[in-house]
Amino acid sequence: MWDYTMKVQDHFRHPRNVGNIPDANAVGEVGNMVCGDALKLYLKVDEKTRKILDAKFETFGCASAIASSSALTEVVKGMTLEEAAKVTNQQIAEYLGGLPEEKMHCSVMGMEALEAAIKSYGAGGKPVTHEEPEGKVICKCFGVTEEKIRKTVAENRLRTVADVTNFTKAGGGCGKCKGEIQRILDDMLGNKPSAAPPEAFSQLTMVRKIHAVEEALAREIAPNLLADGGSIELVDIQGSVIKVRLAGMCRSCPSSGVTLKSFVEKKLRELLDPAITVEQAE
């Protein structure tokens, strides 16, 4: 049995926003019944403010597919299309307090439906079906292209073939493409330009450390938390340990611990230094 979080179970048993919106002006579709999961996302967007007034979904799939769809609608409601365009599959998974690794592709499906819906708005509301990035098909069982694998690997910092299967399904059928997936990973991990900034974080003076962290928080982290009614402030820095305080909605959110580690820490490591640890200030 899968180890689903309480939040996944809740969104599966009591999915929010099920159904369709008859006068939707953005409709995105992804997946099909053959593959085992499919999601149809309906949005009602205010034409003046470009705010998402309402979001509904119809999903064919397992418990985590239903929960991810439900979470997606809750996450995007109230966002502008520009804000929604930045929603990542990690955000959907984090909203649910995490998904089993093998089920991460459900969150990817949510993100793809959202991308398709945003395109649909631009196309006058005509339903748009998500299309795999063009390119060479690596996994013939699930029709996954090299571009999609590369994109998902980069966005989710994947390292192993099993990760790629969990996030994209590629390699999860007959398994013949696993060698090719490994070659893509080798290529990406081997030739990847260093993500570290020119100057190592640990070598910076305290003032510059503070500036670097403040800037990263303001630019990359706070806007995402704001979407959930939360905020974040820097409290202290000791070596590579960064102490922050989550406020607003985050304070009472039971998954704030998850947010701290799997989002804030991950992001700061990505932007500043892989050695960084983020802690909640007392």
Which residues are known to be catalytic? 35, 106
> 43: which 2 tokens?
């949005």
Among 18, 196, 210, 234, binds other proteins (CB under 8 A): 18
Among 169, 178, 209, 269, binds other proteins (CB under 8 A): 169
Residue 5: CB minimum distance to other proteins, A: 14
The residue range among 45-53, 60-68, 180-188, 274-282 that interacts with other proteins, by the rule CB under 8 A, is 60-68
Helices 161-168, 104-122: axis angle to 10 degrees equals 50
The reply on whether position 15 binds other proteins by CB under 8 A is yes
Residue 106: CB minimum distance to other proteins, A: 9
Q: Are 21 and 43 in contact (CB under 8 A)?
A: yes
Q: What is the DSSP letter of 267?
A: H
Compare residues 144 and 232 and give the one whose CB is closer to other proteins: 144
> 128: which 2 tokens?
């748009």
Compare residues 14 and 192 and give the one whose CB is closer to other proteins: 14
Q: Are 168 and 174 in contact (CB under 8 A)?
A: no
Rounded CA separation 133/216 (Å): 30
Residues contacting other proteins: total by CB under 8 A: 34
The reply on whether position 126 binds other proteins by CB under 8 A is no
Compare residues 117 and 212 and give the one whose CB is closer to other proteins: 117
Compare residues 145 and 256 and give the one whose CB is closer to other proteins: 145
Q: What is the DSSP letter of 179?
A: H
Residue 60: CB minimum distance to other proteins, A: 4
Among 21, 24, 26, 38, binds other proteins (CB under 8 A): 38
DSSP bridge partners of 193: none
The reply on whether position 147 binds other proteins by CB under 8 A is no
The reply on whether position 55 binds other proteins by CB under 8 A is no
Q: What is the DSSP letter of 217?
A: I
Rounded CA separation 25/171 (Å): 36
The reply on whether position 36 binds other proteins by CB under 8 A is yes
Residues making up the chain, counted from first to last: 282
Rounded CA separation 219/242 (Å): 17
The reply on whether position 130 binds other proteins by CB under 8 A is no
The reply on whether position 102 binds other proteins by CB under 8 A is yes
Rounded CA separation 73/16 (Å): 8
Rounded CA separation 58/15 (Å): 10
The alpha carbon of residue 276 and the mean position of all alpha carbons in its chain are separated, in whole angstroms, by 21
The residue range among 135-143, 187-195, 200-208, 261-269 that interacts with other proteins, by the rule CB under 8 A, is 135-143
Note the residues at the interface with other proteins (CB under 8 A).
Answer: 12-13, 15, 18-19, 29, 32-40, 58-63, 65-66, 102, 132, 140-143, 165, 169, 172-174
